[in-house]
Amino acid sequence: MESLQVGVIGYGYWGPNLVRNLMACPLTAVAGVCELSAARRAAAGAAVPGVPILETVDELLDRPLDAVAVATPVTTHYALVRRCLEAGKDVLVEKPLAANVADAQALADLADRLGRVLMVDHTYVFSNAVRRIRQLVQAGELGDIYYVDSDRINLGLFQSDINVIWDLAPHDLSIADYVLGLQPRSISGWGCAHADPLIEDIAYVNVDYSDRLMANFHVSWLSPVKVRRMILTGSRKSLIFDELNTSEPVKVYDRGIKVSETTEDLRRFRVGYRTGDMWSPHVEPGEALRSMVAHFAECVRERCEPVSDGRMGVRVVRLLEAATRSTRAHGRRALLSQMDNLYV
């Protein structure tokens, strides 16, 4: 079967990872790389000899392509994705889908109207660890989920067009969307800026899913150490996802509280503790980006909706926008009631 011919726009920090995976995946081939910067074009030419390296999107779209992958800064996504969709291409775009909800929604609608595949690279949704976590949660292994708590912190790459919420929280918000499958009721953000007064470099994002389920995401470019850890605690068990522990990224703990249901105990508010075993479920090794690229190729070939489709892209952008607005209003909660139509 012919491989999908994909043109890549943007060969900065992340573009090379996409190019490497598109070249390694048996379903895809890189038909050209387009990059504005001469220095980055030279780097692409050295890394992928034989692949046409171009300066403009026009030149790229003039070539025989089936699809385009966009790996440029977030503020450029709307114009570039729209251009490629209108040129009749299926599009894979880096997270987040666009720089505001209106643009994200317009792209999702345009892809629907034109019958094109639009997929957002929410990479973690394709990680074997996150897929395993979703299976465990959906099989009821943890019971009712009480809370999700994550740290995604390090001395990060400061961005000039987006704050740390837009840079890092798409990962946590897409994991939560995929694993929980729930519609948040409200969100609040708390953060501050140190290097550039307009760009928050540390933030805490709190998402409320129900009276008994909340999530807290800590994102930072200012931490001296790198931490990538998410805890999900449920009524039966808890789970810790530590991405930096490559041999045992997921650990399930049979530890928690046990609330007695007898009237006498309830009156005295009797809470017991359960301290059982910890086990680490097997997680297949493999690069998430490789699975992501293969999924895109399959969706293009079969003309089906990707897991991280335009709608998921819009849901994530809606949360990013609301969290940033809340952060700039000193944490005032933003209600998310108009999100219903995105979950049908």
Ligand X SMILES: NC(=O)c1ccc[n+]([C@@H]2O[C@H](COP(=O)([O-])OP(=O)(O)OC[C@H]3O[C@@H](n4cnc5c(N)ncnc54)[C@H](O)[C@@H]3O)[C@@H](O)[C@H]2O)c1
Which residues are at the interface with ligand X (CB under 6 A)?
9-15, 34-37, 40, 57, 71-74, 76, 80, 94-95, 121, 123
6: helix, coil or strand? strand
Cβ at position 14, least distance to ligand X in Å: 3
32 contacts 79 by C-beta, under 8 angstroms: no
Residue whose CB is nearest to ligand X in the complex, by number: 12
Q: Shortest approach of ligand X to residue 237 CB, angstroms?
A: 29
| Residue closer to ligand X, measured from CB, 9 or 65 | 9
Q: Which is nearer to ligand X, 161 or 254 (CB)?
A: 161
Q: Which two tokens stand for residue 113?
A: 């109207």
Rounded to the nearest whole angstrom, what is the least distance from the CB of residue 11 to ligand X in the complex?
Answer: 6
Q: How far apart are CA 180 and CA 40, in angstroms?
A: 39
Closer residue to ligand X in complex, CB, 30/34: 34
- Closest by alpha carbon to 95, among 114, 113, 69, 115? 69
Q: DSSP secondary-structure letter at 247?
A: S
Q: How far is the CB of 57 from ligand X (least distance, A)?
A: 6
Report the alpha-carbon distance of residue 259 to residue 277 in Å, rounded. Answer: 19
Task: Report the residue number, 68 or 297, with the smaller CB distance to ligand X.
Answer: 68
* Rounded distance between C-alpha atoms, residue 32 and residue 281, angstroms: 40
Residues in the chain: 344
Give Rg (Cα) of the chain: 21
Cβ of residue 293: shortest distance to ligand X, in angstroms?
11
Query: How buried is 163 (Cβ within 10 angstroms: 0-12 exposed, 13-18 middle, 19+ buried)?
Result: buried
* Helix, strand, coil % over all residues of the chain, rounded to 5: 40, 30, 35
Q: How far is the CB of 15 from ligand X (least distance, A)?
A: 6
Q: State the CB neighbour count (10 A cutoff) for residue 286.
A: 11
Q: Which is nearer to ligand X, 36 or 307 (CB)?
A: 36
Smaller CB distance to ligand X: residue 107 or 142?
107
Q: How far is the CB of 179 from ligand X (least distance, A)?
A: 17
Q: Which is nearer to ligand X, 13 or 279 (CB)?
A: 13
What's the rounded Cα separation, in Å, for the pair 208 and 293? 32
Least distance between ligand X and beta carbon 92 (Å): 11
Query: Shortest distance, CB of residue 10 to ligand X, whole angstroms?
Result: 3
Residue 10 or 191 with smaller CB distance to ligand X:
10
Which C-beta is closer to ligand X: that of 215 or that of 292?
A: 292
Q: Are the beta carbons of 153 and 220 closer than 8 angstroms?
A: yes
One-letter-per-residue 3-state SS of 167-217: HHHHHHHHHHHHHHCCCCCEEEEEEECCCECCECCEEEEEEEEECCEEEEE
